Amino acid sequence: MSSLKFITPYIRPYWRSYLAGILVIPLSTICALRIPKLTGDAVEHMQLQPGEMGRLYTLGVWILICALGRGLGLFATRFFIISSSRRVEFDLRQRLFQHFVGLDRAFFDQSRTGDLMSRATSDIDATRTIVGPCIMYSAGTLFLLCVAIPLMISIDGWLTLIVLVPLTLLSISVRIIGPRVQKAFRRAQETLGTLSSFAQENSGGIRVIKTFATEDREIGSFQNLCDRYYNHNLATERISNWMHPVVGAVTHISMILLLLVGGLLIIDRDLSFGEFIEFTGYLSLLIWPMISIGWVVNQAYRGIASIGRLTEVLKEESKIDQENVQHALQTEEVKGEITINDLSFSYGLNPDSPKVLENINLTIPAGKTTAIIGRTGSGKSTLAHLLTRLYPVQDETIYFDGKDLNQIQLQSLRRAIGVVPQDTFLFSRSIAQNMAFGLDCENEDVELAKCSEEELLKFAQIAGLDQDLDQFNQGLEAVIGERGVTLSGGQRQRVSIARALMYRPKVLILDDALSAVDTQTEERILNNLREATEDLTVIFITHRLSSIKDADQIYVLEDGCISQGGKHEELVEQKGLYQDLFRLQALQRELEDL
Amino acid sequence: MPPTPLSSQEEEKQVGRMDAQLAKRLLKYAWPYKKLLLLTLFLVLMVPLLDLAGTIIVKEALDGPLKSIIDSGSSDGSSSISGMNFFQDWAQTFEFELDHLSSARSSLFNYCRVYLFILLMFIALRYAQGLMMATIGQKVMRDVRMQIFSHLQRMPLEFFHKNPVGALVTRLTNDVEALNQLFTSGVVTLLADIILLTGISCVLFYNSPDLALVTVSVVPVLLIATFIFRYFARKFYREQRSHLSHLNAFTQESLQGIDTIQLFTRESETRSRFRGINFNYMKAFLKTVLAYSIYFPVIEMVSATALVLIILRGGYLLGSNGIEFGTFFLFWRFLERFLMPIRDMAERYNVLQAAMAASERIFRVLDSEESIRNRPDAKSVDNIKGEIEFDRVTFSYNSKDIVLKNFSAKVKTGESVAIVGATGAGKSTLITLLSRFYDPQEGGIKLDGTDLRDLKKQEFRSRMAVVLQDPFIFSRSILENITLGNPNISREQAIEAAKRVNAHGFIERLPDGYDTHLQERGGTLSVGERQLLSFARALSHDPDLIVLDEATAHVDTETEKLIQEALEVLLKDRTSIVIAHRLSTIQRADRILVLHKGELRESGQHQELLTEKGIYYRLYQLQFLGEAGM
């Protein structure tokens, strides 16, 4: 019932179409059922007045008219109902996607993309089957039975009963065989899954396999998996192969019974040959609907399960609290001053999960460059995540322009902050489209967006991309592969920098943004950046000192705590992590020159 | 032929032309099962005929025992009496008719009995046919799959770098599956359809050539309608498929890039883009729905026309005593059976094409050759002493950037050599060459005085253990990860090895001990534990030579201590080459080779090298002294 409640709002907009499709069914059913009757009449006529053709022509014309009526009816039903189901599918998919886009990072951390994808594909598909073919077939079958059975009884009650009983076996056997096949099939699919991950792992670990020369043993293990898959497949076949003989058998049994009982009735002159023909005609019209009953029930079960899964995911809510919104920032007016007050954070939910950040207190002044350095795992990136509220932040710990972060409208906050994240994510579009990603009227055509070619080139130059562009024959219009695979790591980072700059933020966070760029290019980009970010608050998160020498202030993060703070000149003099790092990096440069 | 990359773009491309060579090659796979195949083909022949026999029996019954009654017509009005009066009516029948009628009845029973017998045969044979066909298909799939996999095992490392794992897995799964369609849905069903068509045609023409011609006259119309429909259906289907893959790709990308979307506040833009793609997908589907909505009624009309033709011509022939009623019945019943295979013909062709395309992709993998193979006269290796000589080795992966330049070095039996160098100095390449994953362009590597190229590679590889920086852990049990399935390593030996390299402790703490099933890439283990596990793997194989690339990853002090102890055990009394990242390792080494920018620049013992104040001196401060490596 809850499934019904779930699906009704989606059907409602198309109720007229559904109604039209269903209302046509009686017309097409009656037309369909007239054809056996007319055929029977023709046969009767042939018996009574052999050779008299006039009436046969009339009957022939009627048959064609009925076939046309049935054809049109079929057309309308299919067209109205199935098309509507596609529209329902559209709406449902749209709703699900919108929902996904609004969910927070914690949700995506917990869910596997593959799982979410299967909601968006197979679960939506199963739901669509319910509101499309299931409705169409069950309405059609219901009406057909309602009309055909009285017609058959009017010819002979006993004959109807005797012939129809085996037909019900069809629905029953579909009901029985269907789920079993499903189950066996799922098991086979699981084995196939194991088999393909084995093959995948084999390719991934091929080096170990080759160094330990275990190829033959790998082949042996694969053979076992293949055998298992083979057995599961055959088990599936053993069940699913019953379907054909069963359908054939039931049809033939009905025919045998019709021949036997009908024949006896003919002998006793209780049934005319014409009626025998008519009856046979009805029988063959009933076979497919009988199969479809079983099918519809099976599909309905699957659909209900899918609706359950969809409901579950649609119930998820973003944990980024947006209840206390009191300020909506105007990007132009943002100064970009950030104060962090006694901030602690852990990814786990329970209080004793390890703290990633502990008692952080710092002020990032507007329009200045602040650097945060620390080793991998010191909590630097977490700090960046919190500033943009990818994870929930405690009240009164972070202030942006003097306002509590939690009271600022989320989108307006994110509109003011540009981020170059540690893991660069690029979309499989053109370089220009990726750069213009943050622009407001971002369009399939960048030319139509608010930025000109010169502007794109300007930002490409700032991000140090200009020289790379020559390498692609389409320059900025070059489409990059999935996740930007056609670019090198450094190129990806630079596109990401250009993207953040074009977003025109007031605060720019660079999270290890130059890690894959060589030293010379780094130098060049840093020079460009200095100019381009003159009025911005810049937060540099890195472990490379070369990028932050000129920062207005530097904080050193160790194990979630701030251990040192000051300017480069001061920190170099102090004993501590900063000094160590500085010495090591000097050595590294020396080595490179040797 | 060098290994060629199999791009995923090619996947959708349909090559599918039925060339004779391809067919011949495919037939080879079915050959081992020729007896079963022959039997199946026999059944494929029989089953449709049994299926048809039923209708013929009804026809015979109508023309036999029921004939006189039908012919005499139902003019006496008894037909209007309902079946409820069956027995009463029967009792009223005239005495003299009784004899005649009872013989008709018993004859009718006989017909039904024969029909029932045929039905039972049909059920049995139909089931057997389906199952046998499936069995052959599955067996062939298994064979093809094994052949591809075994072939992949022989491919050089380079092949795996060039071909995305996903594409290789697709060859093993989807493409093999498509090949199966060729056997089951393609060829055999096509054959069954042809037999059915021929069978029906024969029966029809035998019974009444006149009426048969009339029936066959609708076939061209049906064929034209079907081909027009197929053309559009295929077009729309492709459209639909391309929109679907677009839709799925976009959904997946949006889910993976959700951070970027949210950080750049692109939620509403993303939604509207999605709406556009979603809409296109729906539109493509609506076209398909329209095509089907039109096609089915057209089929309906064609078969109604055929029915009318049969009635008219049949009525005429009945009038002139050209045919019996039974014949009319036969034509009427066979009409649908006759039209169905013709309708499905186009579908079968599509399946065949897809299977052909898949088989071409499979053969392309099978045709790629090993670039590094054993020489025909390659020597067997039982034991190695572990004396290694790099003799002026020059190597580059792409013949452009030289990774190793004129590198010469000698490692004596029992010696422990450490290699140090900055990132990109060529250290890992040395290991790769030592395993003979590539052959150097110039110079050579000798093992116990013999060039590696003259030795059987699997054999010398199995005598040396290579431990990589980031050890690859299989999603199998701990035990299997240690032994790698080697039957010569007993459980006890594996455990003993684990104990000696300090891995026993953490393994014991796992829920199922040595039988704990690990996650993909050892996800549940810490970096240090993965290290220890790979040491156990190496030690249990009792190699003559150990090649080790020390991990740089940060581990806690306690684990570090365990690893250091384990290294001691592992390297003891063995020839070893270690890419060193630990102070203890370089201090213990008999000799240190300093690799810089692909060349051997310094070599000697720790103290000697330090006093030189050259590259080693700086490397030492950078990598070892700080031990604060980032």
**CATH code where residue A445 lies:** 3.40.50.300
Chain A residues in contact with B384 (beta carbon < 8 A): none
Q: What is the pLDDT of residue B628?
A: 41
Q: Which of A46, A158, A230 sits opposite B83 (nearest CB)?
A: A158
What confidence score (pLDDT) does residue A88 get?
A: 94
Residues B426 and B349 both lie in one domain:
no
CA–CA dist B147, B149 (Å, integer): 5
Is residue A366 within 8 A of residue A336, CB to CB? The reply is: yes
Closest by CA to B327, choosing from B339, B315, B342, B341, is B315
Q: Compute chain A's Rg from CA coordinates.
A: 36
Give yes or no for a contact between B602 and B612, defined as CB atoms under 8 angstroms apart: yes
Q: Which of B94, B131, B311 to mutate to test the interface with A (most CBs of A within 10 A)?
A: B311
- Quickly state the pLDDT bin for B76 (edges 50, 70, 90): very low
Q: Is residue B344 part of a domain?
A: yes
Average of per-residue pLDDT values in chain B:
82
- The residue out of B367, B385, B406 marking a domain boundary is B367
Average pLDDT on B138-167 reads 87
Residue A421 and residue B541: Cβ atoms within 8 Å?
no
Only one residue has tokens 């059915």, namely B196
Q: C-alpha angle A502/A507/A508, rounded to 5°? A: 60
pLDDT of amino acid B2: 37
Distance (Å, rounded) from C-alpha A325 to C-alpha A336? 19
- Is A201 inside any structural domain? no
Q: Which domain holds residue A20?
A: 1-154
| B89 in contact with chain A, both atoms CB, cutoff 8 A | yes
Q: Tell me: the pLDDT tens digits for A392-424?
A: 888 889 999 989 988 998 888 998 999 998 888
pLDDT exceeds cutoff 80 at B626: no
Q: How far apart are CA B312 and CA B305, in angstroms?
A: 11
DSSP state of B32: G
Contact by Cβ (8 Å): B281, A87: no
Same domain for B105 and B234, yes or no, is yes
B425 and B292 in a single domain? The answer is no
State the angle between helix axes of B267-319 and B325-367 in degrees (0 to 180), rounded to the nearest 10: 140
Q: Compute φ and ψ for A400, nearest 5 degrees.
A: -115, 120
Q: Say if strands A553-558 and A369-374 run parallel, antiparallel, or are unpaired.
A: parallel
- Predicted local confidence at residue B17, as pLDDT: 47
> Does residue A286 belong to any structural domain of this protein?
no
Task: Give CA–CA dist B541/A214, Å, rounded.
Answer: 12
pLDDT of res. B554: 64
B210–chain A Cβ distance below 8 A for any pair: no
The amino acid occupying position A224 is N
Q: Give the A:B interface size as CB pairs under 8 Å.
A: 424
> Number of structural domains, chain B?
2
User: If 0-12 CB within 10 Å is exposed, 13-18 middle and 19+ buried, where does residue B611 land?
Assistant: exposed
pLDDT tens profile B428-442? 888 889 888 888 999
CB B331 within 8 A of CB B313: no
> CA distances (Å), B362 to each of A33, B172, B175, B366, B561, in order?
51, 8, 7, 6, 50
| Residues B428 and B339 both lie in one domain | no
The CATH number for B553's domain is: 3.40.50.300
Question: Scanning the structure block, which residue is given the tokens 């449709």?
Answer: B48
B158-195 per-position pLDDT tens digit:
888 777 777 888 888 888 888 888 777 777 788 888 88
Residues B96-137: tens digit of each pLDDT: 556 677 778 888 888 888 999 999 999 999 899 888 988 998
Determine whether the interchain pair A584/B485 forms a contact, defined as Cβ–Cβ distance below 8 Å.
no
- Backbone φ, ψ for residue B94 (5° rounding): -65, 145
Contacts of A284 in chain B (CB under 8 A): 336
Q: Does residue A167 lie in a domain region?
A: no
Q: Examine the domain organization and report whether B291 and B147 are in the same domain.
A: yes
pLDDT of B70 reads: 65
- Determine how many CB atoms are found less than 10 A away from the CB of residue B497: 24
Separation of first and last alpha carbons in chain A: 76
Q: How far apart are CA B149 and CA B156, in angstroms?
A: 13
- CATH number of domain containing B269: 1.20.1560.10
Residues of B in contact with A74 (CB under 8 A): 293, 296-297, 300
Helix (H, G, I), strand (E, B) or coil at B362: helix
In a domain, A316, yes or no: no
Confidence of residue B15 (pLDDT cuts 50, 70, 90): very low
Question: Which of A121, A154, A187 represents a domain boundary (last residue)?
Answer: A154
Residue A310: C-alpha distances to residues A128, A134, A325, B76, B248 (Å): 12, 19, 30, 66, 17
Whether residue B464 sits in one domain with residue B336: no
Residue B328 lies in a domain: yes
DSSP state of A372: E
A142 Cβ partners below 8 Å, 6+ apart?
A: none
Q: Does residue B242 have a pLDDT over 90?
A: no
Is residue B57 a part of any domain in this protein? yes
Domain housing B487: 416-438+455-625
Does some domain include residue A57? Answer: yes
Residue A295 lies in a domain: no
3-class SS of residue B379? strand
DSSP string, A251-297: HHHHHHHIIIIIHHHHHTTSS-HHHHHHHHHHHHHHHHHHHHHHHHH
Low-confidence ranges of chain A (pLDDT < 70): 1, 349-351, 440-451, 483
Triad A341, A344, A350: Cα angle to 5°: 145
Nearest CB partner across the interface for A120, out of B126, B168, B251: B251
* Best CA proximity match to A29, nearest among A168, A131, A146, A181: A146
Q: In angstroms, how far is CA B622 from the centroid of its own chain?
A: 49
Look at the block and give the residue holding tokens 């207005």. Answer: A552
Last residue of a domain, one of B367, B396, B429: B367
B424 and B523 in a single domain? The answer is yes
Q: How far is CA B484 from CA A19, A261, A340, B476, B539, in A?
A: 64, 70, 52, 9, 12
Q: Is residue B252 part of a domain?
A: yes
φ, ψ at B386 (rounded to 5°): 95, 25
The reported pTM is 0.78
B88 in A contact zone (CB under 8 Å): no
Q: Using the beta-carbon criterion (under 8 Å), do A269 and B123 form an inter-chain contact?
A: no
For Cα atoms B594, B597, B603, give the angle at the middle one, nearest 5 degrees.
15
Residue B292 has pLDDT above 70, yes or no: yes
Q: What is the ipTM of this complex?
A: 0.84
Residue A233 lies in a domain: no
Looking at the fold, whether B340 and B430 belong to one and the same domain comes out as: no
**Contacts with A226 from chain B: Cβ below 8 Å:** 142, 145-146
Question: How many domains does chain A divide into?
Answer: 2
Q: What is the pLDDT of residue A92?
A: 93
Let me know whether B358 and B486 are in one domain.
no
Domain boundary among B334, B367, B400: B367
Measured CA to CA, the distance from residue A17 to residue A12 in angstroms comes to: 10
Residue B8 has pLDDT above 50, yes or no: no
Same domain (yes/no): B196, B326: yes
Residues of A in contact with B618 (CB under 8 A): 587, 590-591, 594
In-domain check, residue B446: no
A49 domain-assigned: yes
**Residue of chain A minimizing CA distance to B255:** A113
Say if residues B618 and B421 touch (Cβ distance below 8 Å): no
